[in-house]
């Protein structure tokens, strides 16, 4: 089955064709995987109107005939019954959300693309989605007219208050659920123990136990449970259609080897997801069908995630290796097939003005590797190493990956992960289960449920298979300061968006300024919470996820939907961005304006208004003479801790609609770029339009004392108060050249985690970054370079030496 080849290939981050790898390892992709990977790479994202057409016709005929949960489940069944089934050449793991790889359906029930949107998507430069004129016409004729006034997005925007709309438009915060459904979840191990037929049995029991005498919700529960049962049928039918197609293809297949594979695919698809998987292959296919089901039913944020995939697969792998029915190479080949499947799934594109502006990113499926098991023991297995090898060889955009490093995690595994980090793909990132278990327990999860948790998308954590943890959007914290410095007015638009908290020129002390800032924070947080709660109920009422609900405890037992308190835990987050930018800005105000009176508030505001043009000495003074976050300097770090704690106070405990509450999260994904774009200059010397700091990382270039100082600063935050923090650390490849450097990187990670760090990721610096550093040195003051047994900051080198470092980085990086 496996063809061993001589050469290993990897692909540079921006290139779309193969280049030989400098980091050849002993394994390498086989010919099948190379072909599948190449196809996945070359496939052009396109829009498929198939789902929308099936759904529109179904709704036209059936809306009003059924209770909403049942209508949704029947709609899902209809899609599973009618959608095009795809089995590609060479494939072992099968199933696509669209009719072919990278073909993305639309979800008009949530938000309906206009004809103009479709034209823009078809022609824009960045992240183009092709769609034929004919399809656009069909869409205009059949889909758009029906959904006008009926979409979830319209329902939401019809009701939100004007002050919210204004704040939203000016970039004070974003709202996740205006175009997509709440998702952010990952599965636990139950799908490897129970098939959908088992779940149907469980649903039948729950139905028969309904108490119409005493339970006023029994009717709602009956509708929901019936809908769940229909959803099981839908997914089984979907799998059987794959089995049928595989059988059919096998009849005409000339190659006996491929014929056998097709028959095997048919056998697998007839067994899962109806039954619990028996083999490693079936286990992967089982997950993949569940994954496809959830992203076909709705377009929940961040797609779907298998959670601790290595832990779930390890028993199958070990059993089959012992029995001799599977080889390690075969196991890796199947894992590679799975990775390519995930990579085939581009995110559904947005509508409206955002269609033009945002290059919609891929959905995240962030694989959790290693970590701890529910009983607290080490979760690393041979499958974990297979996954690391697959990451290194395939070098794909998705799935993302993270190694989870507890105090129980073997050093060998951590170092194997660090070697993949050295390759410079930007992943795996590194998570600390010891801290996130504490975070989850602080929110009220049981020890066992917390240990089964992990990270699903970016850095947010949840109890896998038992929790709806809804991220509602990003709060632009530096923008709140911007507004505070203008008495509630947004200086970019000239509109009064916040409260009147006073002219800052009249403030007598830093404390007075800070109090005004906090008042604005509370104002915007409350504004956001009110609308988030409203949207939450919209989904519970109009867009139940009856298929997803099957896999999240205790939806079946409670007879309630994933969006409607069905899960054991129901958490809501607001993600705060720009901790570095806000800390540094406050540090400038405190030190130079109020304490040392180096310049006045008026002078600073004037300079900011002028975007520091004509005020370069002041800006240089700020950049060079202010204690900034990320340098293990208590002056700045105390401000960061205070802001972090106050954001926690503002958000934590605000009630959500499910009897639980909001929590603080500290991530930005790519939103810090957007937030920066719509902001003027900030007191920390950041120019207008430039990105604000990401996650909990220091501002770009503000950390000048090396990675250990950054880690010490971050370690001062009590990260268990959040549902996740994010630390991005830039590294030159030359700092990770030798094996002993890998050991030192591992120590650095362990040190951060000993301080209570939640997450860290390393971006290997490439030549492009170094050129950018030459153009804009102040944003790259943290670049530490090694030159023959000696390290220095890139910025401190003369031009000749910089050129030399660039030339060498080119060779080393990829």
Partner 1 sequence: MRLFDIKRYAINDGPGIRITLFMKGCPLSCVWCHNPEGGSPQPEKLYTRKKCMGCQACVQACPHQALRWTEEQGIVTDRARCVVCGRCAAVCPAMAMEISGKDYTFDEAMREIEKEMLFMDESGGGVTFCGGEPLMHPDDLAEMLDRCGELGIHRAVDTTLFASEAVVRRIMARCELFLVDLKQMDSDKHRAYTGVPNEPILANLRMIAEAGMAFWIRIPLIEGVNADEENIARSAAFLSSIPWERKVVNLLPYHDIGKGKHEKRGSIYNPQHLPMAAPSADTLARCIAQFEAQGITAVVGG
Which of these segments, 43-51, 343-351, 368-376, 751-759, binds partner 1 (CB under 8 A)? 751-759
State yes or no: residue 772 binds partner 1 (CB under 8 A): no
Sorted by sequence, the CB contacts under 8 Å of residue 48 that are 6+ apart come out as: 98, 99, 103, 104, 105, 106
State yes or no: residue 620 binds partner 1 (CB under 8 A): yes
DSSP H or E run through 364 = none
Instruction: Point out the residues that are catalytic.
Output: 458, 460
Residues 626-645 that bind partner 1 (CB under 8 A): 632
State the burial class of residue 412 (Cβ atoms within 10 Å of its Cβ: 0-12, 13-18, 19+): exposed
State the burial class of residue 158 (Cβ atoms within 10 Å of its Cβ: 0-12, 13-18, 19+): exposed
Partners of residue 430 on adjacent β-strands: 403, 760
Alpha carbon dihedral 31, 33, 37, 43, in 10-degree steps, equals 80
State yes or no: residue 193 binds partner 1 (CB under 8 A): no
Of 460, 482, 722, 559, the C-alpha closest to 227 is 559
Q: How far is the CB of 705 from partner 1 (least distance, A)?
A: 6
State yes or no: residue 597 binds partner 1 (CB under 8 A): no
Using CA atoms, how far apart are residues 474 and 354, in angstroms rounded to an integer? 16
Whether 240 and 275 have beta carbons less than 8 Å apart is answered as no
State yes or no: residue 407 binds partner 1 (CB under 8 A): no
Among 445, 558, 750, 759, binds partner 1 (CB under 8 A): 750
State yes or no: residue 789 binds partner 1 (CB under 8 A): yes
Using CA atoms, how far apart are residues 697 and 716, in angstroms rounded to an integer? 13
Of 578, 718, 706, the C-alpha closest to 630 is 706
Among 217, 511, 796, 810, binds partner 1 (CB under 8 A): 796
State yes or no: residue 683 binds partner 1 (CB under 8 A): no
Q: How far is the CB of 7 from partner 1 (least distance, A)?
A: 24
Specify the residue, 471 or 735, whose C-beta has the smaller distance to partner 1. 735
Specify the residue, 448 or 705, whose C-beta has the smaller distance to partner 1. 705
Q: How far is the CB of 402 from partner 1 (least distance, A)?
A: 21
**Contact letters for partner 1, residues 598-617 (x by CB under 8 A):** ------------------xx
Using CA atoms, how far apart are residues 9 and 340, in angstroms rounded to an integer? 16
How many residues lie near partner 1 (CB under 8 A)? 42
Among 207, 641, 743, 772, binds partner 1 (CB under 8 A): 743
Specify the residue, 673 or 743, whose C-beta has the smaller distance to partner 1. 743
**Contact letters for partner 1, residues 44-73 (x by CB under 8 A):** ------------------------------
Specify the residue, 231 or 809, whose C-beta has the smaller distance to partner 1. 809
Q: How far is the CB of 759 from partner 1 (least distance, A)?
A: 18
Among 24, 787, 803, 807, binds partner 1 (CB under 8 A): 787
State yes or no: residue 808 binds partner 1 (CB under 8 A): no
Q: How far is the CB of 620 from partner 1 (least distance, A)?
A: 4
Angle at 667 between CA 662 and CA 672, to 5 degrees: 125
State yes or no: residue 788 binds partner 1 (CB under 8 A): yes
DSSP state letter for 509: S
Q: Which residue has the tokens 């072992």?
A: 92
**Contact letters for partner 1, residues 264-303 (x by CB under 8 A):** ----------------------------------------
Which of these segments, 168-176, 533-541, 675-683, 743-751, binds partner 1 (CB under 8 A)? 743-751
Sorted by sequence, the CB contacts under 8 Å of residue 268 that are 6+ apart come out as: 243, 281, 282, 285
Among 361, 738, 771, 807, binds partner 1 (CB under 8 A): 738
Q: How many residues does the chain have?
A: 814
State yes or no: residue 624 binds partner 1 (CB under 8 A): yes
Q: How far is the CB of 789 from partner 1 (least distance, A)?
A: 4
Q: Which residue has the tokens 């599977």?
A: 326
Among 380, 527, 748, 760, binds partner 1 (CB under 8 A): 748
Using CA atoms, how far apart are residues 367 and 338, in angstroms rounded to an integer? 12
State yes or no: residue 732 binds partner 1 (CB under 8 A): no
Using CA atoms, how far apart are residues 787 and 785, in angstroms rounded to an integer? 6
Q: How far is the CB of 784 from partner 1 (least distance, A)?
A: 8
State yes or no: residue 784 binds partner 1 (CB under 8 A): yes
Whether 546 and 293 have beta carbons less than 8 Å apart is answered as no
Among 126, 208, 251, 790, binds partner 1 (CB under 8 A): 790
Among 621, 641, 646, 767, binds partner 1 (CB under 8 A): 621
Among 6, 125, 255, 800, binds partner 1 (CB under 8 A): 800
Q: How far is the CB of 599 from partner 1 (least distance, A)?
A: 11
Specify the residue, 678 or 801, whose C-beta has the smaller distance to partner 1. 801
What are the tokens at 364? Answer: 């995240």
Among 85, 269, 272, 735, binds partner 1 (CB under 8 A): 735
DSSP state letter for 140: I
Q: How far is the CB of 627 from partner 1 (least distance, A)?
A: 14
Helices (H), 19-171: 31-42, 50-62, 68-82, 115-123, 133-138, 144-147, 152-159, 162-169
What are the tokens at 393? Answer: 């060889």
Residues 223-252 that bind partner 1 (CB under 8 A): none
State yes or no: residue 755 binds partner 1 (CB under 8 A): yes
Specify the residue, 692 or 735, whose C-beta has the smaller distance to partner 1. 735
Between strands 46-48 and 9-10, the pairing is unpaired
Whether 102 and 43 have beta carbons less than 8 Å apart is answered as yes
Residues 7-26 that bind partner 1 (CB under 8 A): none
Specify the residue, 540 or 742, whose C-beta has the smaller distance to partner 1. 742
Specify the residue, 190 or 750, whose C-beta has the smaller distance to partner 1. 750
Which of these segments, 263-271, 445-453, 570-578, 786-794, binds partner 1 (CB under 8 A)? 786-794
Specify the residue, 491 or 777, whose C-beta has the smaller distance to partner 1. 777
Preceding amide of 399 cis, omega within 30: yes
State the burial class of residue 657 (Cβ atoms within 10 Å of its Cβ: 0-12, 13-18, 19+): middle
Q: Taking the CA atoms of 564, 565, 568 and 574 in sequence, report the sign of the dihedral they define.
A: positive
Between strands 46-48 and 103-105, the pairing is parallel
Among 415, 706, 716, 767, binds partner 1 (CB under 8 A): 706
The conformational region for residue 669 under phi > 0 = left, psi -120 to 50 = alpha, else beta, is left
Among 166, 220, 330, 741, binds partner 1 (CB under 8 A): 741
Specify the residue, 477 or 785, whose C-beta has the smaller distance to partner 1. 785
48-86 residues labelled b (16+ CB within 10 A) or e (exposed) = bbbbbbbbbebbeeeeeebebbbbbbbbbbbbbeebebb
Q: Spell out the long-range contacts of 661-664 with Cβ–Cβ below 8 A and sequence spacing 24 or more.
A: 661/571, 661/572, 662/529, 662/532, 662/572, 662/573, 662/574, 663/443, 663/571, 663/572, 663/573, 663/722, 663/723, 664/573, 664/574, 664/576, 664/721, 664/722, 664/723
Q: Is 360 helix (H, G, I), strand (E, B) or coil?
A: coil
State yes or no: residue 797 binds partner 1 (CB under 8 A): yes
State yes or no: residue 754 binds partner 1 (CB under 8 A): yes
Specify the residue, 162 or 798, whose C-beta has the smaller distance to partner 1. 798
Using CA atoms, how far apart are residues 312 and 390, in angstroms rounded to an integer? 17
Specify the residue, 411 or 810, whose C-beta has the smaller distance to partner 1. 411
Q: Kindly list the residues in this chain that would bind partner 1 in the complex (CB under 8 A).
A: 616-621, 624-625, 632, 705-709, 711-712, 735, 737-738, 741, 743-744, 747-748, 750-751, 754-755, 777, 784, 786-792, 796-798, 800-801
């Amino acid at each position: 089955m496996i063809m061993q080849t001589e050469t290993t290939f990897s692909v540079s981050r921006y290139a779309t064709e193969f280049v030989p790898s400098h980091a050849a390892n002993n394994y390498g992709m086989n010919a099948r995987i190379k072909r599948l990977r190449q196809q996945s790479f070359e496939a052009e994202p396109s829009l498929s109107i198939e789902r929308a057409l099936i759904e529109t016709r179904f709704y036209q005929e059936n809306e009003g005939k059924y209770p909403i949960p049942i209508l949704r489940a029947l709609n899902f069944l209809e899609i599973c019954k009618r959608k095009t089934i795809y089995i590609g050449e060479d494939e072992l793991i099968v199933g696509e959300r669209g009719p072919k790889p990278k073909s993305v359906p639309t979800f008009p029930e949530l938000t309906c693309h206009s004809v103009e949107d479709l034209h823009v998507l078809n022609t824009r430069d960045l992240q183009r989605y092709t769609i034929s004129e004919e399809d656009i016409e069909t869409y205009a004729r059949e889909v758009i007219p029906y959904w006008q006034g009926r979409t979830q997005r319209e329902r939401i925007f019809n009701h939100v208050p004007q002050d919210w709309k204004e704040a939203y438009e000016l970039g004070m915060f974003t709202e996740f659920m205006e175009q997509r459904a709440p998702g952010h979840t990952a599965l636990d191990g139950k799908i490897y123990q129970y098939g959908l037929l088992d779940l149907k049995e469980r649903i039948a029991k729950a139905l028969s136990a309904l108490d119409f005498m005493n339970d006023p919700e029994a009717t709602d529960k009956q509708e929901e449970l019936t809908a769940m049962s229909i959803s099981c049928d839908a997914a089984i039918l979907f799998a059987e259609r794959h089995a049928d197609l595989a059988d059919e293809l096998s009849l005409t297949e000339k190659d006996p080897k491929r014929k056998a594979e097709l028959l095997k695919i048919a056998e697998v698809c007839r067994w899962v997801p109806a039954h619990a998987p028996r083999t490693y292959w079936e286990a992967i296919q089982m997950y993949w069908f569940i994954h496809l089901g959830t992203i076909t039913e709705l377009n929940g944020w961040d797609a779907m995630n298998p959670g601790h995939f290595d832990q779930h697969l390890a028993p199958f792998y070990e059993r089959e290796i012992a029995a001799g029915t599977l080889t390690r190479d075969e196991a890796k080949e199947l894992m590679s097939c799975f990775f390519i499947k995930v990579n085939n799934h581009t995110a559904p594109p947005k509508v409206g003005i955002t269609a033009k502006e945002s290059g919609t990113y891929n959905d995240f499926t962030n694989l959790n590797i290693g970590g701890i098991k529910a009983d607290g023991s080490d979760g690393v297995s041979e499958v974990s190493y297979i996954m690391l090898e697959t990451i290194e060889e395939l070098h794909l955009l998705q799935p993302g990956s993270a190694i989870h490093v507890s105090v129980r995690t073997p050093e060998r595994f951590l170092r194997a992960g660090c070697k993949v980090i050295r390759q410079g793909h930007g992943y795996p990132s590194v998570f600390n289960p010891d801290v996130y278990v504490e975070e989850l327990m602080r929110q009220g999860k049981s020890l066992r449920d917390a240990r089964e948790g992990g990270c699903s998308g970016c850095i947010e954590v949840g109890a896998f298979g038992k929790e709806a943890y809804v991220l509602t959007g990003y709060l632009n914290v530096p923008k709140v300061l911007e507004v505070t410095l203008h008495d509630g007015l947004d200086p970019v638009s000239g509109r009064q968006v916040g409260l009147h908290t006073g002219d800052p020129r009249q403030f007598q002390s830093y404390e007075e300024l800070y109090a005004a800032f906090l008042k604005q924070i509370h104002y915007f947080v409350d504004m956001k919470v009110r609308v988030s709660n409203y949207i939450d109920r919209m989904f519970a009422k109009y867009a139940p996820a009856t298929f997803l609900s099957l896999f999240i405890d205790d939806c079946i037992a409670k007879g309630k939907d994933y969006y409607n308190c069905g899960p054991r835990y129901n958490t809501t987050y607001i993600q705060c961005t720009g901790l570095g930018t806000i800390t540094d800005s406050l540090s400038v105000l405190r030190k130079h304006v109020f304490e040392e009176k180096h310049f006045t508030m008026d002078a600073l505001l004037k300079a900011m208004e002028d975007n520091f043009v004509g005020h370069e000495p002041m800006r240089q003074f700020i950049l060079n003479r202010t204690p900034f976050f990320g340098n293990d300097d208590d002056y700045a770090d105390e401000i960061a801790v205070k802001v972090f704690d106050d954001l926690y106070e503002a958000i934590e405990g605000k009630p959500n609609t499910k009897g639980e509450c909001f929590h603080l999260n500290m991530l930005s994904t790519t939103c810090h770029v957007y937030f920066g774009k719509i902001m003027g200059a900030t007191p920390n010397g950041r120019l207008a339009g430039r990105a604000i700091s990401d996650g909990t990382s220091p501002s770009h270039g503000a950390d000048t004392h090396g990675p250990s100082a950054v880690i010490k600063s971050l370690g001062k935050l009590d990260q268990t108060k959040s549902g996740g923090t994010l630390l991005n650390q830039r590294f030159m490849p030359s700092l990770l050249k030798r094996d002993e450097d890998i050991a030192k990187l591992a120590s650095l990670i362990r040190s951060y985690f000993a301080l209570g760090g939640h997450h860290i990721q390393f971006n290997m610096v490439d030549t492009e970054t170094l050129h950018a550093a030459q153009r804009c040195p102040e944003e790259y003051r943290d670049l530490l370079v090694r030159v023959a047994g000696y390290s220095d900051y890139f910025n401190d080198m003369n031009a000749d030496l910089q050129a030399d470092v660039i030339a060498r980085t080119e060779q080393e990086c990829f």
